Amino acid sequence: MIYSRITGTGGYLPEKIMTNGELERIVDTSDEWIKTRTGIIKRHIAAENETTCDLAEHAALKAIAASGINPGKIDLIIIGTTTPDVIFPSTACLLQKRLGIHGCPAFDVQAVCTGFIYALDIADKFIRTGAATTALVIGAETLSRILDWTDRSTCVLFGDGAGAVILEASPEPGIMSSHLHADGEYNELLQVPAGISRYPEKLKNGTAFIQMQGNEVFKVAVNTLGRIVDETLEANHLEKEDIDWLVPHQANTRIISATAKKLNMSMDRVILTVDQHGNTSAASVPLALDVAVRDGRIQRGDTLLLEAFGGGLTWGATLVKY
């Protein structure tokens, strides 16, 4: 039987750092309020000439180097992003050109903060069916482009970045299962209410910004992530103590703590980067994974639970034997 395993990880954050102190000078907020409500200390912001594809390329090259493969071996590229460089071509196609790869499928997945989990599951299914052998899967975002810097409820939360993994066919299980969900009934809780065919004038005049009903999003996130923990464990006939590491979407520390509590897991077994990265949407899970792999916390053979929640509303989890 064919499985897929993560053989390399990579991450990239823009050089520019924006601290809570800097935000205090441009919007009515405080360092203490941001840290208390979100756990965020700083976030990275893409330079004016830096695009989502630029961030994805940096992360991809690190993942390729970590896996030791020749880029020509890659036969599938998927990028989870809600902030593509252009409407079309896809950011995946733009990256494919930069990497000098020709002919293989390359496409974007739009599931907002759950985008990487969706993309990882799709790549896993490609490999399990024999349609691909080596996939480059990325979460990359430049959310700073769609932030209203006068809205203190959103501009303090988000940052830019990219994370990547190489997924290869293997006789040994790696991706053990994925569980994806969505419910458009809650679409207005977290949205950018403008686009190509709806209120395009907001795109033209630069007023297409993230809008969020924070308290409601928090409630739904905690409930849905709690349920998906149970769903994932049950599907794999595992107990809570069988999970070595929780690698969550980095939305805020309160949501992450609630998920860890559901697993009866101490926070020292949770990969936390939200304090340093902010919420990087689809990039947050692969970025956190890369950080923990590179600093030695996550070791080969560990069992990981990756989970995320985002606009749509979408949510999902992937169980990984690393």
**Separation of alpha carbons 279 and 159, rounded Å:** 6
Q: What is the CATH number of the domain that holds 156?
A: 3.40.47.10
**Residue pLDDT, tens place only, 19-69:** 999 999 999 999 999 999 999 999 999 999 999 999 999 999 999 999 999
Which residue's entry shows tokens 């071509």?
89
For the chain, count helices (H), then strands (E): 10, 13
Verify whether residue 113 is a known catalytic residue: yes
- Distance of alpha carbon 249 from alpha carbon 158, whole angstroms: 12
Instruction: Check whether residue 115 and residue 249 sit in a common domain.
Output: no
Q: Any catalytic annotation for residue 155?
A: no
Last residue of a domain, one of 116, 147, 172: 172
Could you give the number of structural domains in the chain?
2
Residues 129, 292: Cα–Cα separation, whole Å: 30
pLDDT tens-digit readout, 265-319:
999 999 999 999 999 999 999 999 999 999 999 999 999 999 999 999 999 999 9
The one catalytic residue in 53, 155, 252, 279 is 279
Same domain, 98 and 51: yes
E strands, the chain, in order: 3-12, 16-19, 42-45, 76-80, 106-109, 134-142, 160-170, 175-182, 190-191, 211-212, 245-248, 303-310, 314-321
Q: What is the mean pLDDT of the segment spanning 84-96?
A: 98
Domain boundary among 120, 149, 172: 172
What is the pLDDT, as a whole number, of residue 204?
83
Last residue of one domain, picked from the residues 139, 172, 205: 172
Q: Is 249 a catalytic residue?
A: yes
Rounded CA gap, 31 and 44, in Å? Answer: 16
Same-domain status, 167 and 220: no
Q: 138 and 37, same structural domain? A: yes
At residue 302, φ and ψ (nearest 5 deg) are -70, 150
Residues 91 and 155 placed together within one structural domain of the fold: yes
Are 132 and 259 members of one domain? no
- Residue from 44, 58, 249, 277 carrying the catalytic annotation: 249
The verdict on 61 and 160 lying in the same domain is: yes
What per-residue confidence (pLDDT) applies to 207? Answer: 87
Domain shared by 261 and 206, yes or no? yes
Q: Are 242 and 212 in contact (CB under 8 A)?
A: no
Note if the pTM is more than 0.75: yes
CA distance 190 to 210: 7
Cα-based distances in Å from 211 to 30, 208, 214, 274, 276: 20, 9, 9, 20, 23
Same domain for 167 and 181, yes or no, is: no
Q: Tell me how far CA of residue 32 lies from CA of 21, 41, 252, 258, 276, in angstroms.
A: 10, 9, 14, 21, 15
> 220 and 121: one domain?
no
Statement to judge: residues 226 and 125 lie in one domain: no
Considering the domain architecture, whether residues 153 and 254 belong to the same structural domain is answered as no
Selected catalytic residue, list 113, 155, 179, 277: 113
- The whole domain housing 161 covers 3-172
